Homo-oligomer: A and B are copies of this chain.
């Protein structure tokens, strides 16, 4: 009866991520993961409901590697920037995962709108980076917009606020920052 599981979920995650890093998302299948673990395909159904569960496994593995900032900036915008940078760096380390993230991952978790916005940017930037280098000097003179979102995040989105215990990031990628600014300018459509 009560048998101990042959594999831990972490083992599956590690093997799946390895597979995706090596062969792309298309290289991850029930059968390929199973044989990478030296077992049969059906064994995986003890850890995962279906094929899509494999994607979520990979996404979780990547998110688990994110070094979320842990200390607070005075300016909340610095905090959000640090979060975005951290998320982007984690995704960047596993380019093939992008596809899974974009197609279903984060939205399936019913994540917060604000976090979704940030991650949407992260995706967009990473995709742009694959196609060609960004015009890094675009946003140098960007100015402020009103930041009412700060309250909004604190009141309605505790999870985002919790994530926003921001670290004093030393080694941020300058190109990413410049790209972020360029995107913000491009998106800044507010009326006056």
Contacts and interface: CB of A to CB of B under 8 A. Distances in A.
A110 B123 contact: no
A191 interface: yes
A123 to B, nearest CB: 6
Contact of A120 (B81, B120, B132): B120
Quickly give the copy total for this chain: 2
Interface size class of A (residues with CB under 8 A): 35 or more
A155 B131 CA distance: 19
B116 A124 contact: yes
Contacts of A192: 143-144
B113 A149 contact: no
A134 interface: yes
A81 B190 CA distance: 9
Interface in A68-106: 77-78, 80-81, 84, 99, 102-104, 106
Given A116-B127, A124-B116, A182-B113, A187 B190 contact: no
A148 interface: yes
A52 to B, nearest CB: 10
A138 B149 contact: yes
- Which of A123, A127, A156 neighbours the largest number of chain B CB atoms within 10 Å of its CB? A127
